[in-house]
């Protein structure tokens, strides 16, 4: 057993302080989370548009039958509740009473509160806690406490926790089971970088977690309430100084990327295979997500395409003014757009290369795409089923009027479509492949040599050795 690592009390049981991070869409499901719990840790079922099954056990494709976004949003919420309930029940069976099962939601997903209520209502006694990040989940504590379930907020700074604690969590303090510190420069999936933080200057997690502990102490929270370190955790021996350290209090560890490569991980084999081929620097922290958050994913053709699209971008005015003295004569029909001379020349070049359609962005710029890309963008925007509370790509908003009031942004993409596709066997180079920045370590770690893919139990046992 690795030095100093001891089981913690969670949900009235002893469990290893090792958590499988929740991963949507359909990436941490009953198989992975049930197995993680069975190995003695805390498994997390993703309640973000989870899969349901038909009577033969086949995944039910989430097909939308209604005509408006509002109606499709309702269908989506129903799919999400049914899927998560099914996943929790199966995970609980697999866990066989060992470890614990949590669920994960994103606060900024469409209908998040309704999904939480719907799932917790139908899984009483099965779920030990809810992890939730992506936004400021003020009402998380109240909802979890109303079902006698723990909550574990995911934050990326002490400041965010202080605001949540003061405004809401202090009123349901007994159900706060842990605080997850997710390193915004290193973790896979969406990242909580604030505007004040430089995406190119990763900060050491230690002082940030120490500050979080100090903030928790100011709120009167016991040092026995663990801080869960998430993001870039690989070998526990590299976190030696964190364990049994009075400055930090109780510490647990969350793994998101490592459990992707296990036998129980439901992602397609091509995705697993690709993980073993990555090099350092192949993961990109970027800002294309329609949520507006930063996120980390493999820099594949899908992401490169978005990078290039944003590079084929020029500012315009609707009348000749300042530097914008040249009328654009490619990409647009009818309307007059005035641009700089240099941008006119660039636009003509893109046009010659086949990027013959210019699309307006909410920032008074135009991006140049091929006619096929334009068709896909328009179709994806029209097919929107309202999976987010606010979406920059389609302008959908989960409120009166169902619009953000801003122009739909062609520099982004439909995250629901792409995450569903990659999880269910779509091409791995043409979809968003979330991964943490330590994913390159699969290639170097001798545990995975000769193509070895461990079971979840083998992975947890390996982690417990310090490796
Ligand atoms: C494929 C993938 C999907 C993820 N999806 C979610 C999610 O839906 N909700 C969430 O809170 N975190 C999500 N995460 C973050 C993980 O739960 C975890 O905190 C993170 O991956 C830890 O960092 P690591 O990738 O370095 O292990 C995701 C991570 C990955 C790799
Ligand atoms: S367009 Fe935006 S809100 Fe609509 S389904 Fe896609 S990602 Fe979700």
Question: Token pair of 248, please?
Answer: 């930090």
Ligand 1 atom closest to 230 (CA): 22
From ligand 2's centre to the CA of 380, what distance in Å? 8
Among the bound ligands, the one closest to the CA of 381:
2
Q: CA distances (Å), 283 to each of 15, 209, 279, 309, 344, in order?
A: 32, 24, 9, 19, 34
Give me the residue label for tokens 């977690």: 209
- For the cut 70, the answer to whether the pLDDT of residue 1 exceeds it is no
Percentage of the residues of the chain whose pLDDT score is greater than 90: 96
pLDDT at 333: 87
* CA-proximal residue: ligand 1, atom 27 (nearest): 256
pLDDT at 377: 98
Q: How confident is the model at residue 4 (pLDDT cuts 50, 70, 90)?
A: confident
Q: Kindly report the pTM of this predicted structure.
A: 0.96
> Does ligand 1 lie within 6 Å of residue 22's CB atom?
yes
Question: Which segments of 152-268 does DSSP mark as H helices, in order?
Answer: 158-167, 205-218
Burial label, 65 (beta-carbon count in 10 A; 0-12, 13-18, 19+): exposed
- For the cut 90, the answer to whether the pLDDT of residue 373 exceeds it is yes
Average pLDDT along the chain: 96
339 has which bridge partners? 326
Among the bound ligands, the one closest to the CA of 415:
2
Residues of the chain with CATH 3.20.20.70: 8-266+441-464
Dihedral, CA of residue 303, residue 308, residue 310 and residue 311, to nearest 10: 150
- The SS3 assignment for 425 reads coil
* Beta-sheet pairing, 189-191 with 294-298: antiparallel
* CA-proximal residue: ligand 2, atom 7 (nearest): 414
Encode pLDDT of 389-408 as tens digits.
Answer: 999 999 999 988 899 999 99
Give me the residue label for tokens 């896909």: 376
From ligand 1's centre to the CA of 344, what distance in Å? 42
Q: Given its phi and psi angles, is residue 308 left (phi above 0), alpha (psi -120 to 50 degrees) or beta?
A: alpha
Ligand 1 atom closest to 255 (CA): 27
* CA-proximal residue: ligand 2, atom 3 (nearest): 386
CATH classification code of 8-266+441-464: 3.20.20.70
Mean pLDDT (whole number) for 244-250: 96
Buried b (16+ CB within 10 A) or exposed e, 221-258: beeebbbbbbbbbbbbeebeebbebeebbbbbbbbbbb
Encode pLDDT of 291-349 as tens digits.
Answer: 999 999 999 999 999 999 999 999 999 999 999 999 999 999 888 999 999 999 999 99
Alpha-carbon gap, residue 254 to 157, rounded angstroms: 16
* CA 290 to chain centroid: 12
Mean pLDDT (whole number) for 17-37: 98
Residues with CB under 6 A from ligand 2: 290, 384-388, 391, 393-394, 396, 414-416
pLDDT at 3: 75
Burial label, 89 (beta-carbon count in 10 A; 0-12, 13-18, 19+): middle
Encode pLDDT of 208-229 as tens digits.
Answer: 999 999 999 999 999 999 999 9
Alpha-carbon gap, residue 126 to 212, rounded angstroms: 30
């Amino acid at each position: 057993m690795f030095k100093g690592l001891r089981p913690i009390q969670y949900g009235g049981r002893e469990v290893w302080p090792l958590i499988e991070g929740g991963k949507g869409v359909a990436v941490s499901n009953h198989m992975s989370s049930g197995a993680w719990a069975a190995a003695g840790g805390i498994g997390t079922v993703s309640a973000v548009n989870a899969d349901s099954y038909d009577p033969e056990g086949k995944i039910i494709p989430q097909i939308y039958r209604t005509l408006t976004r509002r109606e499709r949003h309702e269908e989506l919420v129903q799919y999400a509740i049914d899927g998560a309930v099914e996943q929790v029940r199966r995970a609980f069976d697999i866990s066989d009473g060992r470890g614990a099962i949590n669920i994960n939601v994103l606060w900024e997903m469409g209908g998040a509160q309704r999904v939480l209520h719907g799932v917790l209502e139908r899984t009483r006694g099965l779920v030990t806690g809810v992890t939730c990040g992506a936004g400021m989940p003020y009402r998380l504590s109240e909802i979890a406490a109303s079902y006698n379930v723990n909550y574990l907020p995911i934050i990326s700074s002490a400041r965010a926790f202080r605001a949540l604690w003061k405004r809401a969590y202090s009123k349901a303090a007994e159900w706060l089971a842990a605080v997850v510190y997710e390193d915004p420069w290193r973790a896979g999936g969406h990242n909580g970088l604030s505007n004040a933080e430089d995406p190119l200057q990763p900060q050491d997690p230690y002082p940030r977690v120490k500050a979080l502990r100090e903030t928790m102490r100011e709120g009167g929270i016991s040092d026995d309430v663990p801080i869960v370190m998430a993001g870039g955790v690989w070998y526990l021996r590299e976190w030696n100084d964190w364990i049994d350290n009075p400055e930090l209090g109780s510490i647990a560890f969350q793994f998101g990327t490592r459990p992707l490569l296990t036998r129980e991980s439901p992602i397609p084999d091509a995705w697993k295979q690709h993980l073993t081929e990555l090099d350092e620097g192949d993961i990109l922290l970027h800002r294309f997500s329609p949520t507006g958050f930063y996120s980390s994913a493999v820099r594949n053709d899908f992401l490169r395409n978005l990078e290039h699209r944003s590079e084929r971008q020029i500012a315009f005015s609707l009348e000749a003014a300042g530097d914008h003295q040249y009328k654009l004569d490619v990409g647009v029909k009818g309307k007059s757009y005035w641009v700089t001379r240099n941008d006119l020349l660039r636009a003509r070049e893109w046009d010659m290369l086949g990027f013959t359609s210019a699309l307006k962005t909410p920032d008074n710029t135009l991006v140049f795409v091929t006619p096929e890309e334009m068709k896909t963008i328009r179709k994806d925007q029209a097919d929107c089923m309202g999976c987010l509370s606010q979406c920059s790509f389609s302008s959908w908003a989960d409120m009166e009027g169902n619009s953000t009031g801003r122009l739909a942004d062609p520099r982004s993409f439909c995250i629901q479509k792409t995450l569903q596709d990659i999880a269910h066997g779509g091409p791995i180079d043409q979809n968003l492949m979330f991964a943490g920045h330590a994913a390159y370590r699969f290639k170097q770690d001798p545990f995975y040599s000769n193509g070895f893919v461990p079971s979840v139990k083998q992975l947890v046992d390996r982690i417990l050795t310090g490796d």
